[in-house]
Amino acid sequence: MLDVGRHPNIELMAYTHVERGEGQSGDFTVTVRRKARYVEEDRCTGCGACAEKCPTVVSDAFNEGLGTRRAIYSWFAQGIPSTHTIDPDHCRQLNGKKCGVCKKTCQADAINFDQEDRVVELHVGAIIAATGYEVFDPSIIPEYQYKEIANVVTALEFERLLSASGPTGGHLDRPSDLAIEADIEALEKKAKRSQRALDKFEEKYDEASPEFYEKYQNGEYGHDEDRKKWASKYGAHMAIAEPLEALRRRAEGFAVAKRLAFIQCVGSRDFRFYPFCSSYCCMHSIKEAIIAHEHEPETTSTIFGMDIRAVGKGFEEYKVRGGNKSAITYVRGRVAEITEAPDHNPVIWYEDTCERRVKSQEFDMVVLATACAPGKGIKELTQVLGIKINEFGFLKTNPSQPLDTTRPGIFTCGCAYGPMDIPESVAQASGAAARVAQILSEFEMRKAS
């Protein structure tokens, strides 16, 4: 990635939307919209001082909504270019309110609220569509209750929880616990505000609120209007403080998730959704279970799957090592249902096909290995570029030239083509680049002759 950013022959246009692709192989005109960041890329040093001071807190899509970011943000820490961007949907200043804190904070003078989108025309000989995939939405499988049971998460959400730069700093905190911790934080803020109001009365009358309130309840202060206000503020404060205390007591028992279940083929190899195998999920579940065990040696994982497809050099050995050294148990069987036990523990109901028995098991967290679905924007892209998709929604290619789309001069690679892991995507990307070099050199030779 860093090499791409520094390469003299590569111009990186991040935060850019392809609007039109016209012409033919060897001579395309591509119109792109470079979206306004409201931050000058060449001035921003990526120091993050602006984001530290920005008062607007927004759910962080990069962390799958498990954490928050500010209205001025960088998509993720190692991103190229390492510039910040203002989110125009949430920024106060860009929505007609007074703010501009980031502009005052930025020492590089990079903030520019007047920046506008730029439409740029590119003249290129060939195009490679490498637009990737989308994670299948498991909420349409009712039996897994993804939306209803907080501790049932997708593999991508689990990866963010495992990541040292993720919302929990790599601790496997359970989403149900995180929700309670967020409630505690919100109530603490409210309690602080209401305590400030009480402090004024306590100072004025030189008396603590609980003692005052008891006397007030006993009718000691009659109809004194000021004291009536104090009593009402104290009542409102207690309406916050009591549930806050109860939540704090609950949070004392919180621990990281140690009993993990992974459910394979969620949306894949399922004729209701995608009949194909997504090819990478067996291996990422094993990887995630191994990493979780490295983080916390008491962690045990059970991987439920029809079979484990460890197809690749060294993959089978990795699977066996996971079982022997990282406390992974492989259970052959399709999970029928997930229910919820007390304490938000998910319970898995499955048929053990080896023993031919229906069983259930309780876990701290369940991870769904979701299918590799076609990218959300792929239909729009095919219209813009005049190319076609196949029956599953990935880019259609020529069986005898598998990286060629249905329009000469436009190629594809990676998960825009179909499900595949990173090494395979990288190998295909090299193949697509070689196809481009091949047709462009043919053009050059024809021009020269």
Ligand X SMILES: Cc1cc2nc3c(=O)[nH]c(=O)nc-3n(C[C@H](O)[C@H](O)[C@H](O)COP(=O)(O)OP(=O)(O)OC[C@H]3O[C@@H](n4cnc5c(N)ncnc54)[C@H](O)[C@@H]3O)c2cc1C
SS3 398: strand
Pick from 37, 309, 319, 435: which binds ligand SF4 (CB under 6 A)?
A: 309
Q: Which stretch binds ligand SF4 (CB under 6 A): 29-37, 70-78, 168-176, 378-386?
A: 70-78
Pick from 28, 133, 144, 146: which binds ligand X (CB under 6 A)?
A: 133
Spell out where 249-295 has E strands: 259-266
Q: At closest approach, how far in Å is the CB of 193 from ligand SF4?
A: 21
155 binds, among ligand X, ligand SF4, none (CB under 5 to 8 A by kind): ligand X
277 binds, among ligand X, ligand SF4, none (CB under 5 to 8 A by kind): ligand SF4
Number of H-type helices and E-type strands within the chain? 11, 19
Pick from 284, 293, 319, 344: which binds ligand X (CB under 6 A)?
A: 284
Continuous segment of H or E residues that includes residue 293: helix 281-295
93 binds ligand SF4 (CB under 6 A): yes
Place of tokens 């692709």: 21
Q: At closest approach, how far in Å is the CB of 91 from ligand X?
A: 22
- Contact status, residue 438 vs residue 401, Cβ threshold 8 Å: no
Pick from 102, 240, 292, 368: which binds ligand SF4 (CB under 6 A)?
A: 102
Q: Which stretch binds ligand X (CB under 6 A): 54-62, 213-221, 309-317, 418-426?
A: 418-426
381 binds ligand X (CB under 6 A): yes
Q: Which of 353, 318, 370 is nearest to 141 (CA)?
A: 370
Q: At closest approach, how far in Å is the CB of 410 from ligand X?
A: 13
Q: At closest approach, how far in Å is the CB of 444 from ligand X?
A: 28
SS3 46: coil
447 CB neighbour count, 10 Å cutoff: 8
Residue with smaller CB distance to ligand SF4, 83 or 209 = 83
Cβ contacts of 417 within 8 Å, gap of 6 or more = 394, 395, 397, 402, 403, 428
| Number of residues forming the site for ligand SF4 (CB under 6 A) | 25
332 binds ligand SF4 (CB under 6 A): no
* 141-180 binders of ligand X (CB under 6 A): 155-156, 159
Crossing angle of helices 209-217 and 175-205, in 10° steps, is 70
SS3 202: helix
Pick from 85, 278, 301, 405: which binds ligand SF4 (CB under 6 A)?
A: 278
- Contact status, residue 388 vs residue 405, Cβ threshold 8 Å: yes
Q: Which amino acid makes up residue 419?
A: P
Pick from 18, 30, 66, 71: which binds ligand SF4 (CB under 6 A)?
A: 71
| Phi, psi (rounded to 5 degrees) for 301 | -130, 145
Pick from 73, 144, 213, 280: which binds ligand X (CB under 6 A)?
A: 280
* 227-256 binders of ligand SF4 (CB under 6 A): none
Q: At closest approach, how far in Å is the CB of 314 from ligand SF4?
A: 16
85 binds ligand SF4 (CB under 6 A): no
Place of tokens 């791409």: 4
Residue with smaller CB distance to ligand X, 18 or 149 = 18
377 binds ligand X (CB under 6 A): yes
The three-point CA angle 28-30-35 to 5° equals 165
Pick from 140, 179, 306, 422: which binds ligand X (CB under 6 A)?
A: 422
> Which DSSP string corresponds to 123-187?
EES-EEE---EEE--GGG-GGG-TTT-TTEEEHHHHHHHH-TTSTTTT----HHHHHHHHHHHHH
Q: Which two tokens stand for residue 150?
A: 């907080």
SS3 96: coil
Positions touching ligand X (CB under 6 A) are: 18, 130-133, 135, 155-156, 159, 280, 284, 287, 375, 377, 381, 414-415, 420-423, 425
Positions touching ligand SF4 (CB under 6 A) are: 54, 56, 70-72, 86, 91-93, 99-102, 264-265, 268-269, 277-279, 281-282, 305, 309, 369
